[in-house]
Amino acid sequence: MDEDVVKKYIEAGRIARIVRDEAVKLIEAGRRLIDVCEYVENRTRELGAAPAFPCNISVNEIAAHYSPLVGDESTIPENAVVKLDIGVHVDGYIADTAVTVSLDDKWTPLLEAVEEALSRAIELVKPGVKFAEVGKAIENAITSRGFKPITNLGGHSLARYTIHAGESIPNAYDVLARGRFSVGKAYAIEPFGTNGAGLVYEGELITIYALVRTSLRRRLDPRTRRVLEAIKERFKTLPFSERWLVDVEQDVDVLRKSLRKLARMGYLVQYPVLIEKGRGIVAQFEHTVVITSSGEVIVTTR
């Protein structure tokens, strides 16, 4: 990882931190979810970077992957627990960060448990450390406060224009987690905790897509072809929202049909909304770390 790449990660992290800290102040009962997310995405662009994925704003038992659709009028409920997951990239180099805000003091212990888990995990990160050790630290921090880690969610390696680069960092001890932290790589560490079952399942709603194949030679109608070409040009392999394509296809119904068609044909992957299996409240905190050639660990988002 050369010096220019490290600088791009650090700049992405700097912008992510600013946007995250500003957006937290918008979390209040009655505010539209779409207004928070559009603030995050537009502010990221104003500061000279681009969103690495659509802003996720997941409430209560929804753990992840909720990003408002076109015309979404959903608002933040009273006494809600709100996860805000933000990705920023500079020239494809990604900083991924998340924070949870509780509008009810009842859930403060849960938030404290998950935030402590993240701190303990980051303290362990250095070249050669096993992912399993980090998972164990996360699990111990959360269970010691009487909550459960969500074991089928976890952190992940990052690569240029790739939000999930193939390596997974568990949120609980897993003897099968063979990976180790390596020099020249970036990682997102993201504990999730809950008072529920400690597992998530995929809901029916899809709000996020990403391009996975560009080489398919299948027959497409002109409007769907235009949507696909815009996806390739604008997002490469990064996740995106239908909200970012309404200038390409103004008819939202047609746009959604095109996206579903592209997913069925193998061009796109879909990210279903993830829901806590026991309908428990979920908290999430996340930072990105970069391990440089000198072995130094840089936390890019704090």
Annotated binding site for a divalent metal cation: 85, 96, 156, 190, 286
How many CA atoms lie within 13 Å of 134's alpha carbon, on the beta-carbon side? Answer: 30
Partners of residue 170 on adjacent β-strands: 154
What element of type H or E holds 203?
strand 200-211
Is residue 21 among the annotated active site residues? no
Is residue 96 among the annotated active site residues? yes
Residues 6+ apart with CB under 8 A from 66: 33, 56, 57, 58, 59, 205, 207, 273
Which token pair is 39? 């603030």
Is residue 85 among the annotated active site residues? yes
Name the active-site residue from 89, 156, 242, 276: 156
Name the active-site residue from 96, 167, 249, 276: 96
Is residue 287 among the annotated active site residues? no
3-state SS assignment for residue 200: strand
Which token pair is 199? 């597992």
Do 97 and 53 touch, CB atoms closer than 8 A?
no
| Annotation: binding site | 65, 85, 96, 156, 164, 190, 286
Which token pair is 245? 């394509």
Is residue 156 among the annotated active site residues? yes
Residues 6+ apart with CB under 8 A from 42: none
C-alpha distance from residue 90 to each of 7, 232, 233, 290 (Å): 9, 18, 16, 14
Name the active-site residue from 11, 41, 61, 85: 85
Is residue 2 among the annotated active site residues? no
| Annotation: binding site for substrate | 65, 164
Do 122 and 287 touch, CB atoms closer than 8 A?
yes
DSSP labels, 205-268: EEEEEEE--S-------HHHHHHHHHHHHHHTTS-B-GGGGTTT---HHHHHHHHHHHHHTTSE
CA distance 237 to 163: 9
Could you give the residue numbers annotated as active site? Answer: 85, 96, 156, 164, 190, 286
